[in-house]
Structure 1
Amino acid sequence: MPARTISAYADEETAQAVEQIAELEDRSPAQIAAAALRFYARLPSEARAAFRRIEKLGTDEDIASLTRAITRKTLDAEWEVAHRRFVGEMTNVPDPAGDEDVNEGVDEDELLAEAVRLTR
């Protein structure tokens, strides 16, 4: 999809934070802003409205608490995606002898129980 330029005004603190993030991530400030806009635009209207109310009425600690909660959920989602990809790559692994699928008939609960037993 073709990209478009969107202008935005930010306070000095936010602009500096974006510049620092861009430098740390070896990305442009525009790329950081675009990622933030993609995230915000994907939120349902109720979540955007709630965020605006928290910004307006809440304390710095309220914002920090919200940020921690979003961070936790984002990291949880990243783990779920990685886990799903890993499990997907592990299914249908061919038998080295070429005879059959080595995962056929493997019960994931039994596999997890064995992994726990081995780590004790």
Structure 2
Amino acid sequence: MPARTISAYADEETARVVEQIAELEDRSPAQIAAAALRFYARLPSEARAAFRRIEKLGTDEDLDSLTRAITRKTLDAEWEVAHRRFIGGMTGVPVPSADEGVDENDLLAKAVRLTQ
């Protein structure tokens, strides 16, 4: 996909942290910024609006709490993806994501087929 350059202004502390992350991850600050923008752009408008309200009205502790919650969900999602890929690779049977409904009858039928 062709890329475009866009500009953003950041306070000194944020710019310093982005530079540190970039160095630690052996990436450019632009790559870090692009990843952050991809994440933000994928959020529904309600989540972006809530984040802006928390930034405006909340405390640093509120933002830290939000960051911890997002971190937990991100790590949970990474585990789910790895688990799904591992099990699917072992069995050759695609494993639905946690967000997809699992039909208990389908699950039982697949278990029976696997044990035969």
TM-score bracket for the superposition, by shorter chain length: 0.7 to 0.9
TM-score (norm 1): 0.78
Aligned residues: 98
Displacement of 1:104: 4.7
Q: Deviations over 1:26-68 (max 9, x none)?
A: 0000000000000000000000000000000000000000000
Query: Which portions of structure 1, spanning 4 or more consecutive aligned residues, are displaced by more than 2 angstroms?
Result: 103-107
* Corresponding residue to 2:115 among 95, 106, 111: 106
Higher relative contact order (CA 8 A, sep 6+): 2
Indicate the RMSD between aligned Cα atoms, in angstroms. Answer: 1.8
Whole-angstrom CA distance in 1 between matches of 2:83 and 2:42: 24
Whole-angstrom CA distance in 1 between matches of 2:78 and 2:115: 26
Q: State the AA in 2 paired with 1:54.
A: I
TM-score (norm 2): 0.80
Specify every segment of 5 or more residues in structure 2 that has no aligned partner in the other structure, as ranges.
93-111
Equivalent residue runs for 1:1-120 within 5 Å: 1-92=1-92, 104-106=113-115
- Structure of larger gyration radius: 1
Whole-angstrom CA distance in 2 between matches of 1:59 and 1:13: 17
